[in-house]
Structure 1
């Protein structure tokens, strides 16, 4: 679960926008995450008074080999949510694609917090998030950094 603010301690996978087996390019939106912990309590006014939905964008490309959390799952910040097989591009041979999917299916989650240096190391992909604004036209979004 990406840490999208200093105050965020958990989030919920609202919806996966990409599915297992989909090729993910850099800047593709991969999922929506809901949280009530985007800003400090002292600043919660107006539109930030309750839960917000953020669109999460990948900063890497590869095959979305496995989602580790189903839609609706509430997870603490740092919990792994997906595996991306780098080097398995859109035009990859079917055997390479099948091998990446099989390896991801067999992979055991070795950490419960990817940001905790006391747990086994994993490569953490960078995420960019956008605030989903329901007041704008469909597809409207605001960058959250």
Structure 2
């Protein structure tokens, strides 16, 4: 497994704040926490990078506990395109964290996209956006190397 560096501030604290979870209500955040655990473990192993991101999400949602929700119920919980896309982008980032999105993670993302009523081209565009964000972080890390 590739050991990735985590971008950190001058005190060594990891800098990987989520971008979109503030768009989610407390109920949506609870279901989101369950979904990120599902995506992280879908391939049978929760990688260190995935766990790190999940810990960051959890720390940004104090008092929120994961709640299981079937894929059939997701459209009721995530009841607008804004919250569905917000959650999907963050979940795709968990899948990307280890070393890219593997086949099991892509299958999970596709089933989640269907539950969220997202079109195939939207899913492809969002995954591409997530990959570009990871590439930009890697590029910034290279700038900081001695």
**TM-score normalised over the length of structure 1:** 0.25
Indicate the structure whose relative CO is greater, using CA pairs within 8 Å and at least 6 residues apart.
2
Higher strand share: 1
Structure possessing the higher radius of gyration over alpha carbons: 1
**TM-score normalised over the length of structure 2:** 0.25
Higher helix share: 2
